Amino acid sequence: MKKILFVCTGNTCRSSMAEAMFKKLLQEHGIEDIVVGSAGTSVFYPSGASQNSIEIMNERGIDLSTHRSRQVDTKMIEEAYLIFTMTAQHRENVLRLRPNAADKVFTLKEFVQSNEQRIDLDIIDPYGGSKGHYKQCSFEIFRLLEQLVEKLKEDSDEWKF
């Protein structure tokens, strides 16, 4: 089993939604050899997903109500096969903890998009925004996750899934 970790700031919005949606996509594609988790770079105490994240995921048929945020640590980094961050700054924060993990830490956008598509590597944080901001963020993440599934399926020999 390969572990994939999604990382954002507080692990209550972007990375928690990415984890939940990716689990559902893997199930829909019959991919069973990947374990998915999420964490944050600035989690001061465990908390639930934001209310807007819960509501947006409910609209997708995903229950995020039991999610608990957690701080990314060196053990998570070491155990992960691939780590996808929501911003370039998150990637740098992860690499400060484990500089030798550079070959497996990417922003989600840089991993799935071609060089021509990469205008901005960051997924905007919806925290504190309207439900519409969360919905827009979830659509962006979902499109990237669909591309990730396809990339992992196409490159299964390279990534050994």
SS (H, E, C) 84-150: EECCHHHHHHHHHHCHHHHHHEEEHHHHHCCCCCCCCCCCCCCCCCCHHHHHHHHHHHHHHHHHHHH
- Tell me, yes or no, if 8 is annotated catalytic: yes
Name the helix (H) or strand (E) containing 6.
Answer: strand 2-8
- Tell me, yes or no, if 13 is annotated catalytic: no
Backbone angles phi, psi at 21, to 5 degrees: -70, -35
Catalytic residue among 13, 70, 91, 125, which?
A: 125
- Tell me, yes or no, if 70 is annotated catalytic: no
Residues with active-site annotation: 8, 14, 125
